[in-house]
Amino acid sequence: MIDIKLIRENRELVKENIKKKFQDQKLPLVDEIYELDIKVRETQTKADALKAEKNKMSGEIGKLMAQKEVDKANEIKAKVSEMGDEITELETLQVELQKQIKEKMMVIPNIIDESVPIGKDDSENVEVERFGEAVVPNYEIPHHADIIAAFNGMDKEAAGRTSGEGFYYLLGDIARLHEAMIAYGRDYMINQGFTYAIPPFMIHGDVVTGVMSFPEMEAMMYKIEGEDLYLIGTSEHSMIGRFKDQIVKKDSLPITMTSYSPCFRKEGGSHGLEERGLYRVHQFEKQEMIVICEPEESMDYYNKMWKYTVEIFRNMDIPVRQLECCSGDLADLKVKSCDIEAWSPRQQKYFEVASCSNLGEAQARRLSIRTKGDKGTYYLHTLNNTVLASPRGLIALLENNYQEDGSVKIPKVLQPYMCGKEILKPVK
């Protein structure tokens, strides 16, 4: 959520930003908010004037009663009572106007960074840099579901019986490899100075609306029936929510944390679910990183964070690229975002395995995460980035380390988590 001062003082900037995000249907909201804000302040001014007059007249009542001018005192009492009713009406109106403003402000997109490329959707995202050689071997790379099947590593049929489409069992060495990747990502981030955390996997609705926009919420979140609880789609939700309504001490900044969680997503809409494999599923596991910092530090952290993910994947012998998200592909709360995509030698193209975002003060403003300095109390900036998510990361690892004889090399950084194993050999 942006600062309403921007709409008071520079409506054209807000409108231009909406146009850059190709959300012209939201343009009328800017003027509506502007007019509602004027009414709020006029109502406040009128209520304040009435309160001052009411207090003055209330003071006269005692004097008149002391002088035994009861009729005059009662006359003023009646006027004071009328003024009290009017003040109550004004305060009720003000609350309603502020509610309308908040509802409209919640859908006004954040002001994007000037470096963000302008484009309508993800087809216009911009490749920035590649890391590692994207190799296509001279032998066929099977579908990842077939690679896993050769190790008896997955059972989607049984998961369908227990849970439905979009769920899976991982088994044996494949399950171990999956967990090895998550553990390596955790330890890598701890070595970068990030504090490890395991957060709640369910959060209240006011935290959900604090960390994400309404369209994202509807598309992603599972609601617990009959309770004000949602299953998290990523641990960023509960990690940022931890600081809701807090004034963070300056000497504790920046806050840098890495968190593990299972993640739950509807994955509805046009993408659908992949029947055979693990690319798009309802449940997965992820190591995440979040930063809460001073506003002037956030872009430096943004660039550090996505580079951590690149190094993690390169250490697992997986070529990747950084893809800058264009304006139309940015979620409303984001100032700047990029995806890290891994190379698929089977498909001979890249696919998303991580996403890094700078949200400016949008989440902090919604959740009231502040600090206090020489210039008073102000909002902090929040950032998040995927350290490593599996099974997408697992798919990339299997394809890029698959050998012609059907075996899979285990990258050196993962071998300590696999009891020293250097290679996985198929069982069938």
Q: Which of 105, 135, 169 is where one domain is finished? A: 105
CATH number for the domain spanning 325: value is: 3.30.930.10
The parent domain of residue 58 ranges over 4-105
User: Quick one: which of 355, 350, 421, 352 has its CA closest to 174?
Assistant: 421
Instruction: Note whether 76 and 25 are same-domain residues.
Output: yes
Instruction: Decide if 110 is inside a domain.
Output: no
291 class by beta-carbon count within 10 Å (0-12 exposed, 13-18 middle, 19+ buried): buried
Instruction: Note whether 224 and 263 are same-domain residues.
Output: yes
Instruction: Note whether 99 and 141 are same-domain residues.
Output: no
Instruction: Note whether 33 and 162 are same-domain residues.
Output: no
Instruction: Note whether 92 and 129 are same-domain residues.
Output: no
CATH number for the domain spanning 80: value is: 1.10.287.40
| Average confidence (pLDDT) over 383-397 | 96
Instruction: Decide if 111 is inside a domain.
Output: no
Instruction: Note whether 180 and 81 are same-domain residues.
Output: no
Instruction: Decide if 117 is inside a domain.
Output: no
Contact of 232 with 202, CB cutoff 8 Å: yes
Instruction: Note whether 311 and 398 are same-domain residues.
Output: yes
Indicate the pairing of strand 169-170 with strand 154-155.
antiparallel
Instruction: Note whether 83 and 129 are same-domain residues.
Output: no
3-state secondary structure of 54: helix
3-state secondary structure of 47: helix
137 contact partners, CB below 8 Å, separation of at least 6: 345, 404
Instruction: Decide if 126 is inside a domain.
Output: yes
Provide the pLDDT confidence category of residue 336 given band limits of 50, 70 and 90: very high
The DSSP-derived string for 156-212 is HHHHHHHT-TT--EE-HHHHHHHHHHHHHHHHHHHHTTPEEE---SEE-HHHHHHHS
| Average confidence (pLDDT) over 32-56 | 93
Instruction: Decide if 338 is inside a domain.
Output: yes
Q: Which of 55, 77, 105 is where one domain is finished? A: 105
Rounded-to-10 torsion of CA 388, 392, 393, 395: 170
Instruction: Decide if 112 is inside a domain.
Output: no
Residue range 153-172, pLDDT digits in tens? 999 999 999 999 889 999 99
Residue range 278-298, pLDDT digits in tens? 988 999 999 999 999 999 999
Instruction: Note whether 54 and 203 are same-domain residues.
Output: no
Instruction: Note whether 71 and 151 are same-domain residues.
Output: no
Instruction: Decide if 114 is inside a domain.
Output: no
Of the listed ranges 77-86, 94-103, 141-150, the one predicted with least confidence: 77-86
Contact of 132 with 320, CB cutoff 8 Å: yes
Provide the pLDDT confidence category of residue 64 given band limits of 50, 70 and 90: confident
Residue range 182-231, pLDDT digits in tens? 999 999 999 999 999 999 999 999 999 999 877 777 778 999 999 999 99
Structure tokens that stand for 48 in this block: 């304040």
Q: Which of 41, 70, 105 is where one domain is finished? A: 105
Instruction: Note whether 142 and 72 are same-domain residues.
Output: no
Total of domains in the chain: 2
Instruction: Decide if 115 is inside a domain.
Output: no
Instruction: Note whether 366 and 415 are same-domain residues.
Output: yes
